[in-house]
C-alpha cells in the first residue's frame, strides 16, 4: 500500500476553475517524478467522463485506466484550496486528492479518506489546516477507524468477485450502493474481516476491496433474494466501472492526438480523417476586372463562343484526370459544369446583353453572378451549396474571356496546409496530395466536393471552420486534425514533436494492421466477430478479399444502375453478380436489392419529383411498384446464387407488409427458376422495424442494421444536411438503444444481426456493437484491417461493459468520450 508523503501536499493553493485545480494536482505529481505530464490530460479526460467529487468538499481526480503507462510510480497528492473551487453545479471542493494508481495500491489512502468523508468536521479541519502533517497523518492511517456496521445475522448471503484491476473504488462503490438502495432489505458487505453498509458508498470504500477480491454480500429483509440477485448481476457487469486497459486496445486509444498544452485551436467539421503538420497557405481567389463596353457585337459573340468551347474542352480534360485518379463518381461534377455553361436561358441572356453593346466578359459575369446570388439565397442547403459550382465554372469562362487564363490563384509548390474560404471543385481537383498536407475551409460542409475529393485523395480535411481561419497568418505552423475537426494554431514545440510522433505511430500502426489483415477478428476470449465489406462495384469484390474482408455484408446494387442510359438487363446483372461470387471464392455475398430514391436518383427512371424523397417511394417501396426493375434483379440474384453462397437483403423495410410482398415476389421468381432457397434478410433502418423486431425476427433469416438511415429517421435529421452533419451520429444513445432492442429480439428467435452502416467501420462503434451482441460488421474497405485489429485486442466482457456504459449515456458526445480523448 502506498502512503501520502508531505512532499506531495500543497497548502493554500488558489484555483479559479476545476481544471486549474486538477492541473495543480497533476503538477504536484509531475514535480515529484510520479507521472509523465501527459497523465494530467488523462486526469482531465477522466473528469469529463465521470465526476470525481466525493463528499464534504473532497474530490479525487485520477487518470483514465488506459493511460497507466504514463504513471512512473503509484502515488497520491493533496492540494488544499481553502477558498474552494466550484467542482460541479452546487458542489465546491476544498481538498483535491490527485491519484495516479498503476493498480490498487492506493486503496489504503482511499479507505482512510472515507473516515474523513464520514466526518464533516474532519474534512473542514483538513481544508483549513496550516499544517501539511495533519493531512498526511489523516490519510495515512493504516487501519480505518471503527467498523461502520454489524454483520447481519439473518437473511441470505452470496460471494462475488470484483472484476477489473482497480477494485471497489469510488465509481463502482457508488453503483453498488445505488443498486442496493433500490431494495428495502438491509445490505452488508464483508471483506477481510471488515463489514460495510452496502447502501453507503463511503462505507464500502473502507473495505479496500482490490481487483479480483472476493467479498460476501448479505441481505436481510422482505426483498432479500431479489436484492442479492441484482447485486450479483451488477458486480458481474463490472459496476459501471470504466473498462480497464484491456477493454480498449492501447493502439486504439492513440487514434486521437491530444496536445499536452492548451494552445489555440479552431473547430470545424471533420471532412477527411488524419493528422497533418505544416505551414498555412492562405488561398485567395483572384478578382478579375472586366470592361463593360463591347468591341462590336460580332467580335464579342465570337469570343464568347471560343471561350465556351475552350472551357468545355478543359472540363473534359479535368473529368478524365479526376475519374482516372478518384473514380467517375468524384469526377461527375465536371460533367455538371459542362451542362451549366450550355444552359440556353443563360446563353440567351448573355447574347441579348452583347446585342446592346456590352462586352462578352461583362455580359457573362453579370449573368452568372445574378444566378449565383439567387442560388445562395435558396433555403435548400444542397442547392445553395451548388452556387459554388456555378461561380467556379463562371470564373473559368470569364478568365478565358478576359484573356487571364493564367490568373488562376496559384497553389503552393511546397507541402502546406491549405486554408481557403471554400475551394471550388476545379481548385480541389488540381490538388496534389504530395503538396497539400491538409485542407481547412471556412465554409462548406462534409458533403461538399472539397470534402469528398479530400477523402478520396486521403488528405486530412476540416470544413466549416468559420472566418477565423482566414485571419491566420500565412506561413505559421499548424497541426490539422481531420478526425477531430480541429486546426491547432502554432502549437508549442513539445506538441509539434508529439504530433510528429503520433503521425509516425499511426503509420507504423497502419502497417501492422495491414500485415495482420487476414487474421480473423477473434477477441481475447475466443469470441469471433465477422468483419465483412460494403461494396458497389464488381472489381471491389476481389479488392475486399485483398483488404482482409471475410465476405460482403452489403452489395449496394444501385451502383450498377447509375451512370447509364437504361437499367442493366437481367443478363448483365447475372454476369456481374456471378463474377463477384467467383472473386469471393466461397466467402458470403449479401446482395441488397435496388435502393433507389432519397439521395440516389436515376435520371432515366423519370420518377415524379417528391417533396420529401427520403420519406417517399424509395428502396423496397419503389421495387414493389416497379416489377420491371425488381423481377429481373431477383432472377439474376437467384441464378448467381447457384455459383456460391449468396444471400438476399431488402432495403428500407418499414412494415411487415413490405417484407411479405418482397418475399412473395422473390419466392415466385425462385419457383419459376426452380432455384434453391437462399437466406433472406432485411435492412433495419426505419424505427418502426425495430419496434416490430420481435415479429420480423420470426420470419427473416437475419437483420442488417443500416445505421446511416436508422440515425436519420430516428433523430429526424437529413443525413446529407450540411448544417446537421455534426449531429447525425450513429453512436447517439437513441440509435444504440434501438440496436440493442433489435439484437435482443433477434437472439430470442436464434437469428443473427449485422450492422452495415458507417458506425460498423468506426473502431469505437465496432467495439460497442460487438458488446451489444452484433455478430457481423460490414464496412468500407479501408476500415477492415483497423477494425479487425481493434477487436483482436478486446475481450467480450470488456466490450459488453463498454456497450452497457454507452447505452446509459445521454448524448452521442458522452458515448464518443468513452473513447479516451
725: cell is: 452533419
The answer to whether 704 and 723 have CB atoms below 8 angstroms apart is no
- Per CB under 6 A, which of residues 751..770 are in contact with ligand PEP? 756-757
Q: Smallest distance, Å, CB 707 to Mg ion?
A: 9
Stretch that binds ligand PEP, among 71-79, 283-291, 704-712, 779-787 (CB under 6 A): 704-712
Q: Smallest distance, Å, CB 809 to ligand PEP?
A: 21
Q: Is 449 a catalytic residue?
A: yes
Catalytic residue among 56, 337, 391, 449: 449
- Per CB under 5 A, which of residues 657..716 are in contact with Mg ion? 685, 706, 709
The answer to whether 255 and 362 have CB atoms below 8 angstroms apart is no
Sole binder of ligand PEP in the list 167, 278, 551, 706 (CB under 6 A): 706
The answer to whether 281 and 480 have CB atoms below 8 angstroms apart is no
Residue 597 binds Mg ion, judged by CB under 5 A: no
Catalytic residue among 56, 169, 281, 337: 169
The answer to whether 116 and 56 have CB atoms below 8 angstroms apart is yes
685: cell is: 433502418
Provide the mask over 591-610, with x wherever binding to ligand PEP is found by CB under 6 A and - wherever it is not.
----x---------------
Catalytic residue among 56, 62, 281, 732: 62
User: 99 in helix, strand or coil?
Assistant: strand
Q: Is 124 a catalytic residue?
A: no
- The dihedral over CA atoms of 607, 613, 616, 621, expressed in degrees to the nearest 10, equals 60
Stretch that binds ligand PEP, among 188-196, 259-267, 700-708, 743-751 (CB under 6 A): 700-708
Residue 492 binds ligand PEP, judged by CB under 6 A: no
* Count of other CB atoms within 10 angstroms of residue 621: 18
Termini Cα distance of the chain: 30
Q: Smallest distance, Å, CB 100 to ligand PEP?
A: 42
**Cβ nearer to ligand PEP, comparing 527 with 737:** 737
**Cβ nearer to ligand PEP, comparing 243 with 761:** 761
Q: Which residues contact 217 (CB under 8 A, 6 or more apart)?
A: 157, 158, 159, 160, 187, 188, 189, 198, 228, 231, 232, 235
Grid cell 491530444 in the structure block, residue? 258
Task: Tell me which of ligand PEP, Mg ion, none is bound by residue 241, counting a contact when its beta carbon lies within the kind-specific cut-off of 5 to 8 angstroms.
Answer: none
**Cβ nearer to Mg ion, comparing 241 with 540:** 540
Residue 685 binds ligand PEP, judged by CB under 6 A: yes
Residue 268 binds Mg ion, judged by CB under 5 A: no
Cα–Cα distance, 746 to 255 (Å, whole number) = 33
Any bridge partners for residue 646, and if so which?
589
Residue 709 binds ligand PEP, judged by CB under 6 A: yes
Q: Is 391 a catalytic residue?
A: no
How distant is the alpha carbon of residue 262 from its chain centre?
24
Grid cell 486549474 in the structure block, residue? 20
Cα–Cα distance, 632 to 502 (Å, whole number) = 51
Cα–Cα distance, 446 to 800 (Å, whole number) = 32
**Cβ nearer to ligand PEP, comparing 24 with 739:** 739
Distance (Å) of CA 345 to CA 362, 363, 548, 646: 17, 13, 52, 50
Grid cell 435482443 in the structure block, residue? 744
Q: Smallest distance, Å, CB 682 to ligand PEP?
A: 12
Number of residues that bind ligand PEP (CB under 6 A): 10
Q: Smallest distance, Å, CB 707 to ligand PEP?
A: 5
The answer to whether 232 and 174 have CB atoms below 8 angstroms apart is no
**Cβ nearer to Mg ion, comparing 312 with 600:** 600
Task: Tell me which of ligand PEP, Mg ion, none is bound by residue 756, counting a contact when its beta carbon lies within the kind-specific cut-off of 5 to 8 angstroms.
Answer: ligand PEP
Number of residues that bind Mg ion (CB under 5 A): 3
Cα–Cα distance, 339 to 343 (Å, whole number) = 7
Sole binder of ligand PEP in the list 524, 575, 708, 795 (CB under 6 A): 708
Q: Decide the pairing of beta strands 9-10 and 53-55.
A: unpaired
Residue 294 binds ligand PEP, judged by CB under 6 A: no
Residue 718 binds Mg ion, judged by CB under 5 A: no
**Cβ nearer to ligand PEP, comparing 389 with 740:** 740
The answer to whether 1 and 69 have CB atoms below 8 angstroms apart is no
Q: What are phi and psi of 71, to 5 degrees?
A: -95, 125
Q: Is 62 a catalytic residue?
A: yes
Residues near Mg ion, by CB under 5 A: 685, 706, 709
Catalytic machinery residues: 62, 169, 449, 756
Residues near ligand PEP, by CB under 6 A: 554, 556, 595, 685, 706-709, 756-757
Amino acid at each position: 500500500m502506498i502512503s501520502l508523503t508531505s512532499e506531495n501536499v500543497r497548502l493554500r493553493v488558489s484555483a479559479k476553475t476545476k481544471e486549474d485545480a486538477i492541473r495543480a494536482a497533476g503538477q504536484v505529481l509531475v514535480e515529484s517524478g510520479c507521472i509523465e505530464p501527459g497523465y494530467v490530460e488523462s486526469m482531465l479526460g477522466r473528469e469529463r467522463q465521470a465526476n470525481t467529487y466525493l463528499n464534504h468538499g473532497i474530490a479525487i481526480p485520477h487518470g483514465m485506466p488506459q493511460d497507466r503507462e504514463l504513471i512512473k510510480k503509484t502515488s497520491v497528492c493533496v492540494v488544499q484550496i481553502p477558498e474552494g473551487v466550484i467542482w460541479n453545479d452546487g458542489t465546491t471542493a476544498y481538498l483535491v486528492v490527485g491519484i495516479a494508481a498503476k493498480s490498487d495500491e492506493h486503496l489504503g489512502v482511499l479507505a482512510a479518506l472515507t473516515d474523513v468523508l464520514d466526518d464533516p468536521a474532519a474534512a473542514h479541519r483538513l481544508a483549513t489546516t496550516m499544517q501539511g502533517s495533519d493531512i498526511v497523518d489523516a490519510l495515512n492511517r493504516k487501519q480505518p477507524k471503527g467498523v461502520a456496521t454489524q454483520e447481519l445475522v439473518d437473511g441470505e448471503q452470496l460471494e462475488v468477485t470484483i472484476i477489473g484491476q482497480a477494485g471497489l473504488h469510488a465509481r463502482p462503490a457508488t453503483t453498488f450502493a445505488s443498486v442496493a438502495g433500490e431494495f428495502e432489505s438491509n445490505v452488508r458487505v464483508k471483506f477481510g474481516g471488515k463489514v460495510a453498509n452496502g447502501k453507503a458508498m463511503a462505507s464500502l470504500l473502507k473495505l479496500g476491496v482490490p481487483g479480483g477480491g472476493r467479498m460476501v454480500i448479505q441481505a436481510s429483509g422482505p426483498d432479500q433474494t431479489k436484492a442479492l440477485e441484482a447485486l450479483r448481476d451488477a458486480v458481474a457487469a463490472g459496476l459501471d466501472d470504466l473498462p480497464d486497459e484491456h477493454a480498449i486496445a492501447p493502439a486504439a486509444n492513440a487514434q486521437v492526438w491530444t496536445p499536452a498544452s492548451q494552445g489555440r485551436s479552431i473547430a470545424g467539421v471533420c471532412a477527411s480523417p488524419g493528422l497533418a503538420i505544416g505551414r498555412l497557405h492562405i488561398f485567395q481567389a483572384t478578382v478579375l476586372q472586366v470592361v463593360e463596353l463591347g468591341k462590336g457585337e460580332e467580335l464579342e459573340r465570337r469570343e464568347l463562343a471560343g471561350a465556351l468551347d475552350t472551357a468545355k474542352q478543359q472540363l473534359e480534360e479535368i473529368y478524365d484526370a479526376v475519374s482516372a485518379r478518384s473514380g467517375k463518381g468524384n469526377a461527375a461534377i465536371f460533367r455538371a459544369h459542362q451542362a451549366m455553361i450550355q444552359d440556353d436561358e443563360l446563353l440567351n441572356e448573355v447574347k441579348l446583353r452583347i446585342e446592346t453593346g456590352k462586352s462578352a466578359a461583362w455580359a457573362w459575369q453579370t449573368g452568372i453572378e445574378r444566378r449565383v446570388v439567387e442560388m445562395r439565397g435558396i433555403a435548400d442547403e444542397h442547392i445553395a451549396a451548388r452556387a459554388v459550382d456555378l461561380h467556379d465554372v463562371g470564373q473559368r469562362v470569364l478568365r478565358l474571356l478576359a484573356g487571364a487564363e493564367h490568373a488562376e490563384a496559384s497553389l503552393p509548390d511546397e507541402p502546406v496546409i491549405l486554408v481557403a474560404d471554400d475551394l471550388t471543385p476545379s481548385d480541389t481537383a488540381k490538388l496534389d496530395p504530395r503538396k497539400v498536407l491538409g485542407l481547412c475551409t471556412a465554409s462548406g460542409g462534409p458533403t461538399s466536393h472539397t470534402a469528398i475529393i479530400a477523402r478520396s485523395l486521403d488528405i486530412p480535411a476540416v470544413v466549416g471552420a468559420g472566418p477565423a481561419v482566414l485571419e491566420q497568418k500565412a506561413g505559421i505552423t499548424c497541426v490539422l486534425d481531420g478526425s477531430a475537426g480541429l486546426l491547432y494554431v502554432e502549437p508549442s514545440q513539445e506538441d509539434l514533436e508529439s504530433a510528429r510522433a503520433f503521425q509516425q505511430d499511426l503509420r507504423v500502426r497502419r502497417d501492422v494492421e495491414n500485415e495482420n489483415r487476414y487474421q480473423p477478428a477473434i477477441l481475447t476470449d475466443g469470441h469471433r466477430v465477422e468483419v465483412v465489406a460494403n461494396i458497389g462495384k464488381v472489381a471491389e469484390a476481389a479488392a475486399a478479399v485483398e483488404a482482409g474482408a471475410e465476405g460482403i455484408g452489403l452489395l449496394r446494387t444501385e451502383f450498377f444502375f447509375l451512370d447509364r442510359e437504361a437499367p442493366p438487363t437481367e443478363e448483365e446483372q447475372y454476369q456481374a453478380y456471378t463474377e463477384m461470387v467467383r472473386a469471393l471464392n466461397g466467402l458470403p455475398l449479401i446482395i441488397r436489392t435496388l435502393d433507389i430514391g432519397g439521395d440516389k436518383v436515376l435520371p432515366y427512371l423519370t420518377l415524379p419529383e417528391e417533396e420529401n424523397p427520403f420519406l417517399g417511394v424509395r428502396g423496397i417501396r419503389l421495387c414493389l411498384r416497379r416489377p420491371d426493375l425488381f423481377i429481373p434483379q431477383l432472377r439474376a440474384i437467384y441464378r448467381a446464387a447457384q455459383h456460391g453462397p449468396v444471400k438476399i437483403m431488402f432495403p428500407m423495410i418499414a412494415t411487415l407488409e413490405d417484407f411479405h410482398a418482397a418475399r412473395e415476389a422473390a419466392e415466385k421468381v425462385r419457383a419459376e427458376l426452380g432455384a434453391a432457397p437462399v437466406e433472406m434478410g432485411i435492412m433495419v433502418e426505419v424505427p418502426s422495424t425495430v419496434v416490430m423486431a420481435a415479429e420480423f425476427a420470426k420470419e427473416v433469416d437475419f437483420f442488417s442494421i443500416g445505421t446511416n438511415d436508422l440515425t436519420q429517421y430516428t433523430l429526424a435529421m437529413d443525413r446529407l444536411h450540411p448544417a446537421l452533419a455534426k449531429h447525425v451520429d450513429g453512436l447517439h444513445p437513441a440509435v444504440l438503444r434501438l440496436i440493442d432492442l433489435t439484437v435482443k429480439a433477434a437472439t430470442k428467435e436464434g437469428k443473427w444481426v449485422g450492422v452495415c452502416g458507417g458506425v460498423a467501420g468506426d473502431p469505437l462503434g465496432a467495439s460497442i456493437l460487438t458488446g451489444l451482441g452484433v455478430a457481423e460488421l460490414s464496412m468500407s474497405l479501408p476500415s477492415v484491417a483497423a477494425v479487425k485489429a481493434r477487436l483482436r485486442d478486446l475481450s467480450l466482457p470488456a466490450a459488453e461493459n463498454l456497450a452497457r456504459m454507452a447505452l446509459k449515456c445521454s448524448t452521442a458526445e458522452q458515448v464518443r468520450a468513452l473513447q479516451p480523448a
